[in-house]
């Protein structure tokens, strides 16, 4: 009887040790794939606009990566709900940002989770808590864009008025160079493309010109990174918040408004078209994966499109 009890105790001990090891593994971070992620965010880029505009610098960048022209955004097809969804891995049903007029002290639908300051958890919060040495920056030129983000999780924030964005491109480069020895996430955004669509119409000559104009500056930005040897270990992501219907602008439910370009390039990324379904809520989870984070907030709904990665 004593032998049976000892044997049973031994088996139970092994089971407990195995369970502890399993729990420990779940709390471990994966080996990071990326040292640095730069988000090139252009507002209001439709698939037709992207295909029509001459963008040699974006094209060259994405030759070494994966491009989707069927990524589905969230409804409503307007700016703040969609950028919030990209950066929080969740739709409006979770984060509660239902319109461009959203403010933290004017809530219609409460978020299903909030940090201590009342914000829904973003990729910046997740990274700051999971990667202690990471440096983060947020560059923008539409004033309301930052309203759904907790500023405590940014090391640098810069806003330009009147649709200007070149100062931010310069600051972003300097930030990356200064923090080249640290893991880094940079959000580099411009609204001027969206405003060209509103003022002149989606697919108007002025709208197409606005895309071609920023492509030149993206090329100059990348050239500077290459000169400083900061290009090869950087992942670039290019995406937008909504497209536009040439007759109605955006905010509706058409394919032209809800399907947009989404792209990623960098070490370990496949080359070619993304064929599996993709959604804007997958952006933040993909960034988390790049930095080796396994534990995603339960409130997030995004997935990692695994086919974008080269199989080891």
pLDDT at position 30 is 65
Structural domain contains residue 272: yes
- Examine the pLDDT at 24 and tell me if it is beyond 50: no
Tell me the whole-structure pTM to 2 decimals: 0.89
Q: What confidence category does residue 16 fall into, taking pLDDT thresholds of 50, 70 and 90?
A: very low
pLDDT at position 29 is 53
Token digits of residue 169: 């491109």
The whole-chain average pLDDT of the chain stands at 91
% of the chain at pLDDT higher than 70 = 90
- Examine the pLDDT at 247 and tell me if it is beyond 90: no
User: Considering its fold, how many domains does the chain have in total?
Assistant: 1
State how far the alpha carbon of 155 is from the alpha carbons of 128, 289, 290, in Å.
Answer: 10, 21, 20
* Range of the structural domain that residue 279 is part of: 33-308
The DSSP secondary-structure symbol of 146 reads: G
- Examine the pLDDT at 209 and tell me if it is beyond 50: yes
Half-sphere CA count of 58, side-chain side, radius 13 A: 24
pLDDT at position 172 is 98
Structural domain contains residue 133: yes
Structural domain contains residue 19: no
- Examine the pLDDT at 26 and tell me if it is beyond 70: no
Structural domain contains residue 157: yes
Structural domain contains residue 8: no
CATH of the domain at 103: 3.40.720.10
Assign 307 to helix, strand or coil.
helix
Structural domain contains residue 21: no
Please provide residue 49's backbone torsions phi and psi, each rounded to the nearest 5 degrees.
-65, -45
% of the chain at pLDDT higher than 90 = 85
Angle formed by the axes of helices 123-130 and 79-88, to 10°? 20
pLDDT at position 312 is 75
pLDDT at position 31 is 73
As beta bridge partners, residue 40 has 188, 238
Structural domain contains residue 239: yes
Structural domain contains residue 28: no
């Amino acid at each position: 009887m004593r032998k049976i009890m000892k044997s049973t105790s031994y088996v139970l001990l092994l089971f407990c040790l195995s369970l502890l090891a399993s729990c420990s593994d779940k709390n471990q971070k994966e080996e990071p794939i990326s040292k640095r992620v730069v988000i090139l965010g252009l507002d209001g880029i439709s698939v037709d606009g992207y295909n029509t505009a001459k963008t040699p610098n974006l094209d060259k960048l994405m030759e070494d990566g994966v491009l989707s022209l069927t990524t589905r955004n969230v409804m409503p097809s307007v700016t703040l709900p969609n950028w919030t969804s990209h950066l929080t891995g969740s739709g409006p049903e979770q984060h509660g940002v239902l319109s461009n007029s959203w403010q933290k002290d004017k809530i219609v639908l409460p978020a299903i989770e909030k940090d201590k300051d009342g914000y829904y958890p973003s990729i910046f919060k997740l990274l700051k808590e999971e990667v202690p040495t990471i440096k983060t920056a947020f560059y923008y030129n539409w004033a309301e864009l930052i309203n759904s983000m907790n500023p405590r999780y940014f090391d640098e924030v810069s806003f330009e008025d009147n649709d200007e964005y070149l100062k931010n491109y310069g600051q972003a480069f300097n930030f990356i160079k200064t923090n080249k020895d640290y893991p880094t996430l940079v959000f580099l955004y411009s609204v001027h493309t969206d405003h060209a669509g509103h003022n002149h119409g989606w697919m108007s000559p002025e709208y197409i010109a606005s895309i071609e104009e920023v492509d030149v500056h993206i090329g100059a930005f990348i050239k500077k990174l290459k000169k400083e040897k900061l290009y090869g270990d950087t992942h670039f992501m290019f995406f937008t918040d909504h497209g536009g219907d040439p007759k109605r602008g955006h905010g509706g439910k058409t394919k032209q408004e809800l399907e947009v370009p989404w792209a990623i390039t960098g070490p370990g990324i496949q080359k070619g078209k993304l064929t599996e379904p993709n959604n804007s809520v997958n952006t933040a989870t993909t960034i988390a994966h790049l930095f080796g984070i396994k534990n995603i907030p339960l409130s997030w709904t995004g997935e990692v499109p695994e086919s974008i990665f080269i199989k080891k």
